[in-house]
């Protein structure tokens, strides 16, 4: 089940942490920065879930995980931007980026080893 994947759990955790910190962003950022960072962070775990359902097709699986990695990188950009705008403290930035980097490493492992995520009947014995 996709919810058991470490990458999914960590990406979900990151999105929830971002959701909490962005509640304090200024109202004028609601339809720009707040929406952008929430959307990109949520897209990471959503793409992991979609990839899991496509794991029967390794190329499609890798493509969806690559999309998750792209969204994770976009999230890092918005974290940097929010910090530069002084909406995030340095320690919060470090915490969020650390979790995002961990997610990125897990995604890269999935990209490099798609065969480990194939449905049981497809795995070579």
pLDDT tens column, 94-114: 999 999 999 999 999 999 999
Count of other CB atoms within 10 angstroms of residue 122: 12
- Output the CA–CA distances (angstroms, integers) from residue 61 to 9, 75, 108, 121, in the order listed: 18, 21, 12, 16
Q: What's the rounded Cα separation, in Å, for the pair 18 and 27?
A: 16
Quickly tell me which residue has 């994770």 as its tokens. 72
**Nearest one of 79, 78, 68 to 103, comparing CA atoms:** 68
Query: pLDDT tens for residues 33-75?
Result: 999 999 999 999 999 999 999 999 999 999 999 999 999 999 9
């Amino acid at each position: 089940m996709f919810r058991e994947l470490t990458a999914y759990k960590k990406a979900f955790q990151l999105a929830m942490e971002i959701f909490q910190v962005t509640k304090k962003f200024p109202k004028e950022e609601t339809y720009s920065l707040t929406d952008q960072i929430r959307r990109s962070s949520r897209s990471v775990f959503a793409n992991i879930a979609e990839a899991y359902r496509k794991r029967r097709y390794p190329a499609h699986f890798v493509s969806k995980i690559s999309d998750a990695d792209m969204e994770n990188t976009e999230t890092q950009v918005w974290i940097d931007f929010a910090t530069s705008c002084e909406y995030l403290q340095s320690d919060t930035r470090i915490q969020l980026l650390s979790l995002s980097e961990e997610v990125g490493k897990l995604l890269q492992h999935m990209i490099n080893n798609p065969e480990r995520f194939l449905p049981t009947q497809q795995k070579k014995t």
